[in-house]
Amino acid sequence: MSGGLDFTGKVAVVTGAASGIGRATVRAFARQGAKVVAADRDAGVHEVISEFEGVLAIEIDAAEENDVRRLVDIACDQFGGLDIFYANAGISGGTAGILDADVTLWMEVLRVNLIGPALAIKYAAPRIVARGGGAILCTASVAGLRSGAGGTPYSASKAGLINLVQTAAQQLATSGVRVNAICPGLIETGMTQRAFDYARQQGKEEKLGQLNPLRRAGRPEEIAEVALFLASDAASYVNGQAIAVDGGLSSSFPVTRQIYGKPAF
């Protein structure tokens, strides 16, 4: 897909860029000619920039207001403006259920997964407007679409993020800024690596992704391709949407987790 997209002259910020989807997206934007600021609180973000010119690495907390403000300022100061912000940073919070998750876990998951993207929109949108318009993207999840694909705090945070994207798209009407969410299914990233490693150790790698019609897990690069499309002029009429990229998983969630009584399956 990306072969037909040209981001020459565009400036993009990607958070959660040290690994997984963020790392793949930084590389994809850079290959298509964009100037990119790769941001992560993991020092490994500096490794991402080694193969490309015009890519800057910044260590920040993507849910800390001063850090997000500084990140946007750096992008504009270094590259002359901002066209695209991809709020990709997130945490899983584990698999805690509604009766198990404590307030500390809830607060941290919501801080990173929901408040972080809200700050990205708050500080990126005015700068993108100043450039004549562009795109804000957020990584949500199929877990935010309906039950059965993640822990309770994580799922709730991603559902909130989808609504945030819809609300922001409406409030930014006529600004030239489009806001969309990507909802990945099972993708091999730092967040899911333990599950992938365990399956391989048990000789059950073929079971990864078996619940979706494609019968496989996804790759970070497949999410990056969708990010490039949504950030491009080719998606000029796509706004306020939550795009599932999950091999068809969200067409039917066949998982029920019960606390009381017999499991449904």
Catalytic annotation, pick one of 86, 154, 198, 237: 154
Q: Is 123 part of the annotated catalytic residue set? A: no
- Residues 91, 151 contacting (CB under 8 angstroms): no
| Active site members | 154
